[in-house]
Structures are given as structure tokens and as C-alpha cells.
């Protein structure tokens, strides 16, 4: 029997062992060897077809044990849409109060606050809905919204079976999309403030540039190691491995 056949035959038993452990309350998927197996499954269409449902089931069980507070996807998207509306309202206030030639009371400080609030609201509200939109377009489904930490944007949980069934390049685009959308938010506010000739105080413009550049620096330093960009690099590596195996 060849090594590839041994691997195919043994993964089912390994996944059964891991699922039993998760059912018994053990959610240490990395320690149980789950992610190592997922890495093997991703590289082989036959393995994906055979094991995607069980991999997705195990991932969902462990997630629900570790994350008790969750929101339905539709409700999370609705709440984040309200965040988009808050940002739009804040930008409207900035234009209203920060454009001297409009027939409204001129209040540049309030305009500056509006610009900063718009950027902050959109940085949060753009992230996960963009993951959701791009993911749905490429065929990935999602199960829940959740909070990773009070300081992080709301997380969006993938249905891992559907995640495995799309191409690794599509998975990479899904991960990249939210990260890029968050980076766009402060730059978009700067562009709109300029387009509408908002006379914002210098401190507000400085804050917007700090937010814009700070996010890029944070991504370079941290996200490539532990967040969206790490996942992008991981899935592109899978795509290269599959292309190499096929050539």
C-alpha cells in the first residue's frame, strides 16, 4: 500500500478520535492534531470530498464550546450596517459643520470630531461584512458572529466544510477582503473630506493619518503572524503546493 493511500485511510480514524475528544469536552484542536489533518485535507480534492463534512462538524463543535456568546449572521450584519450608517451620519455632520460656504453654522471642531467618528465606525463596520460578501460570492458560508476581544472587530465564523470546498485562492481573497476594507476606511474619510472641502482642524487630519498608517504598520508587524494576512499567506501556500503537485 502506498503512503498516499495510508494517509487517506488513516485520516477518517484520526478525525473520529478527535471528534470523540471534542464531544467529551476537549477543545484543544491543535493539541489533538486537528489542524495538522486539515492541512493535509486542503491539499487533496479527494480528501476534501471525503472529509469536509466531518472537519466542518468538529470545528463547529469546538467553536460552540469555546465561544458561548454568538449572534446569527443576519443580526450581526444588521448591527454592522447600523455602524455604516453612524459613519455616514458623522461624515454628513462634518460636511455640514466644516464647510464655510454652506448656509449652516460653521463649527470646525465638530467637523473634526465627525471625521474621526466616521473613520472609527467604518473601520469596525467594513471588516466582517466584506469578509461575508466576498465569501458568499466565492461559495463560503458563515454560521455566527462573535467577539474575539473588546478591542477587535466582531469575528465572523466560517462554515468550515464550505470553506474547504472552495479553492485556496478564493479562501485567500476572502481573508484579504476584510483586512483591506478596514484599511480603506480612514483613507476614504480623508478623500471625502477633501472632495467636500471640509475645513477640519489639523488635529483631526493627523488622527486620520495616524489611523490609516497605524493600521498598515500593525498589519505588517502583527497580522502577518496571527490574523487575516497570516491566513492569506497560508492559503496561498496551499495553492502553490497544489499547483506544484499537479505539474
H or E element, residue 158: strand 155-158
Question: In the structure, how many helices (H) and strands (E) does the chain have?
Answer: 12, 2
Neighbours of 186 (CB within 10 A): 25
Is residue 54 predicted with pLDDT exceeding 90?
yes
Predicted confidence (pLDDT) at residue 110 exceeds the cutoff of 50: yes
User: Has residue 99 got a pLDDT over 90?
Assistant: no
d(CA 130, CA 97) in angstroms, rounded, equals 30
Q: What are phi and psi of 200, to 5 degrees?
A: -85, 150
For residues 122 and 208, is the Cβ–Cβ distance under 8 A?
no
Give the domain ranges of the chain: 3-66, 73-246
**50 Cβ contact list (under 8 Å, min separation 6):** 8, 11, 12
Q: Which residue has the higher pLDDT, 226 or 132?
A: 132
Residue 15 has pLDDT above 50, yes or no: yes
| Structure confidence at residue 61 as a pLDDT band (50, 70, 90) | very high
Bridge partners (DSSP) of residue 158 are 142
Name residues whose C-beta falls within 8 Å of residue 69's C-beta, 6 or more positions apart in sequence.
Answer: 146, 147
Rounded CA-CA distance 133/174 in Å is 9
pLDDT value at 168 more than 80: yes
Cα diameter, the chain: 82
Residues found in the chain: 247
Amino acid at each position: 500500500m502506498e503512503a498516499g493511500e495510508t494517509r487517506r485511510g488513516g485520516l477518517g480514524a484520526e478525525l473520529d478520535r478527535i471528534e470523540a475528544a471534542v464531544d467529551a469536552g476537549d477543545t484543544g484542536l491543535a493539541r489533538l492534531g486537528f489542524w495538522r489533518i486539515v492541512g493535509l485535507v486542503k491539499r487533496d480534492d479527494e480528501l476534501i470530498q471525503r472529509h469536509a463534512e466531518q472537519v466542518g462538524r468538529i470545528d463547529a463543535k469546538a467553536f460552540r464550546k469555546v465561544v458561548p456568546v454568538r449572534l446569527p449572521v443576519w443580526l450581526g450584519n444588521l448591527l454592522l450596517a447600523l455602524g455604516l450608517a453612524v459613519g455616514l451620519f458623522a461624515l454628513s455632520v462634518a460636511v455640514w459643520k466644516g464647510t464655510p460656504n454652506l448656509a449652516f453654522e460653521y463649527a470646525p471642531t465638530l467637523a473634526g470630531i465627525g471625521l474621526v467618528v466616521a473613520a472609527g465606525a467604518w473601520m469596525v463596520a467594513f471588516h466582517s461584512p466584506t469578509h461575508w460578501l466576498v465569501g458568499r460570492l466565492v461559495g463560503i458560508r458563515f454560521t455566527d458572529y462573535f467577539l474575539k476581544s473588546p478591542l477587535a472587530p466582531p469575528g465572523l465564523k466560517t462554515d468550515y466544510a464550505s470553506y474547504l470546498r472552495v479553492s485556496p485562492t478564493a479562501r485567500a481573497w476572502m481573508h484579504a477582503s476584510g483586512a483591506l476594507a478596514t484599511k480603506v476606511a480612514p483613507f476614504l474619510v480623508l478623500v471625502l473630506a477633501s472632495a467636500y472641502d471640509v475645513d477640519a482642524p489639523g488635529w483631526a487630519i493627523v488622527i486620520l493619518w495616524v489611523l490609516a498608517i497605524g493600521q498598515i504598520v500593525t498589519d505588517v508587524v502583527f497580522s502577518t503572524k496571527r490574523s487575516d494576512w497570516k491566513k492569506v499567506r497560508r492559503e496561498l501556500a496551499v495553492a502553490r503546493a497544489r499547483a506544484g503537485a499537479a505539474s
